[in-house]
Structure 1
Amino acid sequence: MDDVTTIAVGGERPYDVLVGRDLPHHLPRLLDGAARAAVLYAPPLRAQAEAITRVISEAGIAPLAIDVPDAEAGKSIDVAARCWDQLGAAGFTRTDAVVGVGGGAVTDLAGFVAACWLRGVRWIPVSTSLLGMVDAAVGGKTGVNTAAGKNLVGAFHPPAGVLCDLSLLDTLPRVDLVAGLAEVVKCGFIADPAILDLIESRTPDEGPPDEAVTRELVERAVRVKADVVGADLREGGLREVLNYGHTLAHAIEKVEGYSWRHGHAVSVGLVYAATLGHLAGRLDEATAKRHSSVLAALGLPTAYRADAWPDLLATMRVDKKARGSKLRFVVLDGIARPSILDGPSDELLRAAYEEVAA
């Protein structure tokens, strides 16, 4: 019997997240009724995508393999349009489906392609990165980047199911595994402090968590996200807490031309959000400093260029959480007590950045 943990995501379109090893054989059940399934993947994951197309084909479903540019380069309207052209040429109908094989960028793209094709067809993310498992694959947020910023064009389109296949992490480069832990740390601060305790129980020279600890971290982080998105799919309120640290993080990514790993940007963003909350009188100093210590112990960056502030501030002003001319930040009133800081002054924003600037 599979050693699979099933985490239910509720709401208007419920689905399950499966966490375990060697999970592709669950795909035919999720694709039941489809005559065709497009498999979107980046070239470095060709072998994994080929294995998945074989599983789909053996189930009597015609696979359509579509390779897309790797990482954030694949998240564009031009790439999505090329995918739609291939779906059209293959005769994809409303009962057919899309499978995204990759990290957060590929699954964001695959979900967006599925959300727009015939106004929404089934899709399943098969996440191959830690970041994708605990963040992008769960929650139904899909989208692409534009010149204006990251993820400003997209749709809420929940998947039919999510496969978090831990065996795919076996060959993940250490730098990518560590980068994914930034989103896990975020979940610890906003909802589940046991995550922080697990990470802090290890010494830095132990390196990334072993398989058993990694699995527990993934399951805990997925449960945090499942609870939030099940209650608030379309970010009407509660779901905003998942953006803790992301306002500055997305600005860093844009300023860097999306060459920075998302997790690295989130790590700096978490330190900034904690500092901002402390300077605003919302968060105690010890908890604010705990952000830096936890992230640094994992080998994640905690500072960014001092001279970048004007560009970062301009980019943050078009953040999705902004309202009119006012910026809004997710901050903490304490561990597992996220809230909103509405319209902080430019002076406060700059003062917080000066404390985390390299």
Structure 2
Amino acid sequence: MKEIVVPSSSHTYSVWIGEGLLKNVSKYLQKEYSSIFVITDDVVEKLYLQTLLESLPKVHKAVAVVAAGEQSKNITTYYRLQTEAIEAGLDRNSLIIALGGGVVGDIAGFVAATYMRGIDYIQVPTTVLAHDSSVGGKVAINHEQGKNLIGSFYPPAAVLYDVDTLATLPPQEIRSGYAEIVKEALISDKEAFERLLQVNLHDLTKEELQEHLSFGIEVKTAIVTADEKEKGERKFLNLGHTLGHAIETELQYQLLKHGEAVAVGLLFSLFVSEDLFQADVSFSKLYGWLSDNGYPLPAEMLDPEILLKRMKTDKKAQAGKVQMVLLKDIGQPTTAVLDDEQIVHYIKRFRERLVRG
């Protein structure tokens, strides 16, 4: 069992990482609640909902289930969840529990942030990817024009990360989550990055997984503590996300998982960094690791003009130009504003590089 403490401007909360937490949720609630509203998806519901419900205090409970997948993170689902919360009789002393991956955590957190102007929620992540999204208080839903364009900063009351729930994840979800861990190493720690490149995702032990999750959460905690509202260095956590989000939006959140799209974005960021700064930031090494671990790197989806348009709707865009997080070296992230011609040029060259293999 490990506890990581995350300070925020509104309150300090703990991230608990370990085995068997799902069976002891009541132990980690900091106060008594009038009612509890669990939001989960239709995959996690079948696996872990009953265990969670049995571990909660004897107060009024209600459950809402959304369809698994990024397509659920929209205004329609958000409005339905608000309606169900009202019909369940939630008041300002109620608690929302987000049981699931990043999609559930994002939308449940946004419901909590806006229901009666804000009530408590806790994150109970069930994916590797959610180690990143469950910490730091970013909550959001998607707009058809772009990802996470509607949202807020609203920290949880706690994060309970039961690694036992990760045993049921398919390989695609493991890949998706590890892209974010690789990102956290790239922006913070060259040695950690080199160690991750030795990891075979098909042969992970529970101990390795818990170690890597703790590392990723500690990196994110240090950054969000220093820059909670993304005025400065928190932007570095978006390494790989400018192109990754553009790909996700263009594919309408199908075919690739979030982390798989981010993996393509990470590779692109290293490609641009090596050219722009004339630095070796391990593009070839990361390409080899992604290939060896089964990440899809489909060049055919990289249409420069279409992706440029998507990238310009990114939240980090400045005055209609694309702002990317890049690396001067591993552990030395920076930002750069690129004009349209540069973006198109780099995507074309990157696509050619992927075609060559």
Aligned mates of 2:299, 2:160 — CA distance in 1: 34
| Post-superposition CA distance 1:66-92 (Å, at most 9, x none) | 111211122111111111111111221
Give me the TM-score of the superposition, normalised by structure 1. 0.93
Q: Are the structure 2 counterparts of residues 27 and 124 from structure 1 closer, same or farther at C-alpha, using a change threshold of 3 Å?
A: farther
- Preserved CA contact (<8 Å) 1:39 1:98: yes
Q: Are the structure 2 counterparts of residues 307 and 286 from structure 1 closer, same or farther at C-alpha, using a change threshold of 3 Å?
A: closer
CA RMSD after TM alignment: 1.6
Aligned counterpart for 1:268 among listed residues 264, 271, 274: 264
Query: Which consecutive unaligned segments of at least 5 residues does structure 1 have?
Result: none
2:153 alignment counterpart: 156
1:177 alignment counterpart: 174
Q: Are the structure 2 counterparts of residues 111 and 341 from structure 1 closer, same or farther at C-alpha, using a change threshold of 3 Å?
A: same
Tell me which amino acid in the other structure corresponds to 1:9. Answer: V
- Preserved CA contact (<8 Å) 1:10 1:231: no
Q: Are the structure 2 counterparts of residues 191 and 302 from structure 1 closer, same or farther at C-alpha, using a change threshold of 3 Å?
A: farther
2:91 alignment counterpart: 93
Aligned mates of 1:218, 1:195 — CA distance in 2: 12
Q: Does 1:65 find its partner at 2:63?
A: yes
2:160 is paired with a residue of what secondary structure? strand
1:233 is paired with a residue of what secondary structure? coil
- Tell me by how many angstroms 1:285 deviates: 3.3
- Preserved CA contact (<8 Å) 2:281 2:329: no
| Post-superposition CA distance 1:227-271 (Å, at most 9, x none) | 111111111111100000000000000110101200110000001
- Preserved CA contact (<8 Å) 2:280 2:329: no
After TM superposition, the structure 1 stretch with the greater mean CA deviation from structure 2, 25-34 or 250-259, is 25-34
| Post-superposition CA distance 1:102-127 (Å, at most 9, x none) | 11111101100000001111011110
Q: Does 1:189 find its partner at 2:186?
A: yes
Q: How does 1:91-170 map to 2 (within 5 A)?
A: 91-133=89-131, 135-170=132-167
- Preserved CA contact (<8 Å) 2:8 2:155: no
Q: Does 1:311 find its partner at 2:306?
A: yes
Tell me which amino acid in the other structure corresponds to 1:81. Answer: Y
1:16 is paired with a residue of what secondary structure? strand
Q: Are the structure 2 counterparts of residues 27 and 228 from structure 1 closer, same or farther at C-alpha, using a change threshold of 3 Å?
A: farther
* Percent of residue pairs identical: 30
Give me the TM-score of the superposition, normalised by structure 2. 0.93
1:258 is paired with a residue of what secondary structure? coil
Q: Does 1:199 find its partner at 2:193?
A: no
Aligned mates of 1:306, 1:174 — CA distance in 2: 22
- Preserved CA contact (<8 Å) 1:35 1:62: yes
Q: How does 1:276-355 map to 2 (within 5 A)?
A: 276-280=272-276, 282=277, 284-285=279-280, 287-305=282-300, 308-342=303-337, 344-355=338-349
Aligned mates of 1:292, 1:270 — CA distance in 2: 10
Aligned mates of 1:27, 1:330 — CA distance in 2: 40
Aligned mates of 1:6, 1:38 — CA distance in 2: 25
Aligned mates of 1:32, 1:283 — CA distance in 2: 54
1:322 is paired with a residue of what secondary structure? coil
1:129 is paired with a residue of what secondary structure? coil
Aligned mates of 1:249, 1:101 — CA distance in 2: 25
Query: Which consecutive unaligned segments of at least 5 residues does structure 2 have?
Result: none
1:33 is paired with a residue of what secondary structure? coil
- Preserved CA contact (<8 Å) 1:274 1:283: no
- Preserved CA contact (<8 Å) 1:303 1:356: no
Aligned mates of 1:271, 1:346 — CA distance in 2: 19
Tell me which amino acid in the other structure corresponds to 1:304. Answer: A
- Preserved CA contact (<8 Å) 1:8 1:15: yes
1:318 is paired with a residue of what secondary structure? coil
1:43 alignment counterpart: 42
Q: How does 1:28-39 map to 2 (within 5 A)?
A: 28-30=27-29, 32-39=31-38
2:141 is paired with a residue of what secondary structure? strand
